[in-house]
A = this chain, B = another copy of it.
Amino acid sequence: MIAIGIDLGGTNIKAALVDKSKGILRKTSVPTEADKGKDHVFDKIKIAVDSLMEGSDANPIGIGMGSPGMVTLDRTTVKNPPNLAGWGVVNVSNEVKKRTGFNCIIDNDANLAALGSSRFGVGKDFDSMIMLTLGTGVGGGIIFKRNLLRGTTGSAAELGHVIINYKGPLSNSNTRGGIEAYLGQRFLSRFAAKSIREHPDNPLYKEFLNNFDQLEPVDLFKAAENGNQLAATILQKTGEKLGYAIVNYIHILDIRKIVVSGGVAKAGRWLIEPAKSKALEYLMPPFREGFEILYEPLGNDAALYGASSLALEHL
């Protein structure tokens, strides 16, 4: 069985033809050009699908699509997606069907990353797992007994907006001290820049003096690997905050497998080990058993795999 998986992002629309047993057969990407409005974006989706199907004899059963923002329980409609300004409430399934002829089912992008990991990635081994997409924002998806836990309206697993310090900084939402305010890429870069500015003798100071906004988690990772103690400390403090959030997820859900992906996860063990050790310190003892943090090697493709899995299982 074959389905089309689409990952609708604020910058790019990625699409893939996915075979249930063979995985991704082919893949394409087009710029979203979200600033040109909703209709333009749907036209771009049509272009992506056409380019994917061109010269293919595959007969996909339909389209599964991941979208930013909150998706209704019936998996047709998105509400006020961030990064897609002016959308409001849009029945995406109808719009896509109208243009491509394919039936279309959607869900939140982080939910689909979780589903992709569960069906095609490191999550295959677990009945239940928690996915964290550590990027510009911090997204989450919860797989419980092989299915997405979607809550009463489809909006569950806003794991980036879990408070770990009610006196903490504001993030892009109105929640203070949510984990995204520490771990979101820009927040992490800002925190790193502040720390580095205080240490003009540190090699990172010279390297990023004029472009601190270019500083990426992977730069901190590389510096830490090369023995830069400041970089290691920055990642350690950030990782510990992830640890507190993980304690909250596990104490509420009793799901102990945590899977991470996204740009910030590229900070690697320098981020993840402190998260793990702080979580182990704060978890109630029975919850420590079986607790693991794992990387998703599918990376950004996890959402494409999840999107196609949604179509394969529900269309």
A255–B161 CB distance below 8 A:
no
A25-33, A241-249, A262-270, A292-300: which lies at the interface = A241-249
A149 to B149, CA, bound (A): 11
B155–A286 CB distance below 8 A:
yes
A159 to B159, CA, bound (A): 16
The interface bits of chain A over 117-150 (1 if a CB of B lies within 8 angstroms of the residue's CB, else 0) are 0000000000110000000000000100000011
Contacts of A281 in B (CB 8 A): 174
A163–B79 CB distance below 8 A:
no
Taking a contact as CB atoms closer than 8 A, the residue among B70, B128, B283 that contacts A286 in the complex is B70
A153–B282 CB distance below 8 A:
no
A8-16, A96-104, A165-173: which lies at the interface = A165-173
Taking a contact as CB atoms closer than 8 A, the residue among B244, B252, B254 that contacts A253 in the complex is B252
- Also in contact, A158 and B128, with CB within 8 A (given A163-B164, A281-B174): no
Contacts of A70 in B (CB 8 A): 286
The B-contacting residues of A in range 209-243, CB under 8 angstroms, are 240-241
Distance in angstroms from A140 CB to nearest chain B CB is 8
Contacts of A166 in B (CB 8 A): 164-165, 240-241, 244, 282
B161–A253 CB distance below 8 A:
no
A151 to B247, CA, bound (A): 14
A151 to B129, CA, bound (A): 11
Known contacts A162-B248, A162-B251, then 18 further A-B pairs from the complex at CB < 8 Å, ordered by chain A residue? A70-B286, A79-B286, A128-B152, A153-B254, A157-B252, A158-B251, A161-B247, A161-B284, A163-B164, A163-B247, A163-B248, A164-B164, A165-B165, A165-B166, A175-B282, A175-B284, A176-B282, A248-B252
Distance in angstroms from A71 CB to nearest chain B CB is 11
Taking a contact as CB atoms closer than 8 A, the residue among B79, B158, B247 that contacts A252 in the complex is B158
Return 27 A-B CB contacts under 8 Å, by A number. Answer: A70-B286, A80-B286, A128-B152, A142-B252, A151-B253, A151-B255, A152-B254, A153-B286, A156-B252, A159-B251, A159-B252, A161-B251, A162-B248, A162-B252, A163-B244, A163-B248, A163-B282, A164-B164, A165-B165, A166-B240, A166-B241, A166-B282, A173-B284, A174-B281, A175-B247, A175-B284, A176-B282
A75 on the B face (CB < 8 A): no
Contacts of A150 in B (CB 8 A): 254
